[in-house]
Structure 1
């Protein structure tokens, strides 16, 4: 199975008139993604940028609830349902792989689908007929730890699990729409593109680990700390 990173867009946009038209190209791309893997996935592991924990934490509910983690949207967007099942078995497998790699991983049986999870999946797999398990980011966004975690989860790709990272490469709602945010976002985007386009795995890994932050005193987080 491949591994995807998806910029999921703003809030529950597929369910909001006007926003859906704005993201029309994104919707077309999401709907086309299921054609790319060699077969239909047995399950999806969603690494979601909207979930942070002190340790890597995996959702283990058999039937996950919904997490409406957005504000100020129309009332109907707080009743959206994506009724995909969870998979306690896959959650246990993820925890074991991370534990074997030296991480103190945890399970959370109460965690529900956030909009970074159900928005892309509702477009990619509208029938909600395959198990979905979520994995948190680890607070602090240490790049080396997250790279090691990704390496630990590689066996899942050969077990029919589609791994998706969902978030945004740069996220600063306080600076949204302000001119001063643009050069910072572009600088980080250019750095990131340069890093992931490196053909040599070792070079790409080194490029993905920044030792110096991109200055941004107005941002709640330093954008070089991770993909959120």
Structure 2
């Protein structure tokens, strides 16, 4: 079975306790995926940003509560999902053959960028997970290339997920229901590059995308990076389709993209 790769926005950590159109969509998406269950989910999270390429190697992941100022129930949620050490070793062998320096990581647990998404898709925790770090300081082409190294895993029934956010500027969030035009214009521009698989222009998004300074501020590029890792993982099947699009707080985009048919 060949799995697609996905980019899934994780929004606010409170996604874990919300019931809205987006959480309903993620539940349905998870049910669709489980019609032919993947052997594991490999997830790149925006909240594991490091110049070192890390690969988790746990047999059981702890749940990190890496946020503050949220409702008390947020700190009592547990999502103790299994790891897949064999898959971690496959990944390490791929990185080794690709001359990508990496380190295995044990005991870190899953940050909320990882477990909130996985829990929304697979509430029972039945799909093992391997977490990978991102490096927001790498160029878009380098991020894409790392994802491309992992393409063969999709043919081994591994679901690859990038968890982040295309428009993610906490300083510009507003108490409004309708999205800010600048946010939708940025998302639409990115969508055009994805559906046409226009890598040349996409890799230069920091200069060419409209409203990029508002959408991807310099302090939050790690939320955009997972898109490129997930996209690269489907380089052999260059097909992109938007599965969902909505906004919270006027600009925080909740979007899901599937790469590969």
Residue 29 of structure 2 is matched in structure 1 by 33
CA distance in 1, matches of 2:108, 2:222: 27
Residue 120 of structure 2 is matched in structure 1 by 123
Secondary structure of 1:159's aligned partner: coil
The change in CA–CA distance for 1:225 and 1:86 in structure 2 (over 3 A counts) is closer
Secondary structure of 2:43's aligned partner: strand
Residue 83 of structure 1 is matched in structure 2 by 80
Q: What's the TM-score once normalised by structure 1's chain length? A: 0.84
Deviation at 1:212, TM superposition (A): 4.4
TM-superposition CA deviations, 1:70-123 (whole Å, max 9, x none): 211122211211111112221121122123222112111122111121112212
* Aligned: 1:4 with 2:10: no
Residue 208 of structure 1 is matched in structure 2 by 202
Q: Give the 5 Å matches for 1:169-208.
A: 169-177=166-174, 182=180, 185-198=183-196, 201=197, 204-208=198-202
Residue 161 of structure 2 is matched in structure 1 by 164
Deviation at 1:183, TM superposition (A): 5.8
Secondary structure of 1:51's aligned partner: strand
TM-superposition CA deviations, 1:148-201 (whole Å, max 9, x none): 11110001101111111111112221222299x956544432331111010xx5
CA contact (8 A) 2:53 2:101 kept: yes
The change in CA–CA distance for 1:225 and 1:62 in structure 2 (over 3 A counts) is closer
Secondary structure of 2:45's aligned partner: strand
Deviation at 1:30, TM superposition (A): 0.7
Alpha-carbon RMSD:
2.7
CA distance in 1, matches of 2:220, 2:169: 9
Residue 105 of structure 1 is matched in structure 2 by 102
Secondary structure of 1:112's aligned partner: coil
Residue 53 of structure 1 is matched in structure 2 by 50
Q: What's the TM-score once normalised by structure 2's chain length? A: 0.74
Q: Give the 5 Å matches for 1:64-83.
A: 64-83=61-80
Secondary structure of 1:102's aligned partner: coil
Residue 227 of structure 1 is matched in structure 2 by 225
CA distance in 2, matches of 1:186, 1:71: 29
CA contact (8 A) 1:157 1:163 kept: yes
Deviation at 1:205, TM superposition (A): 2.1
The change in CA–CA distance for 1:225 and 1:167 in structure 2 (over 3 A counts) is closer
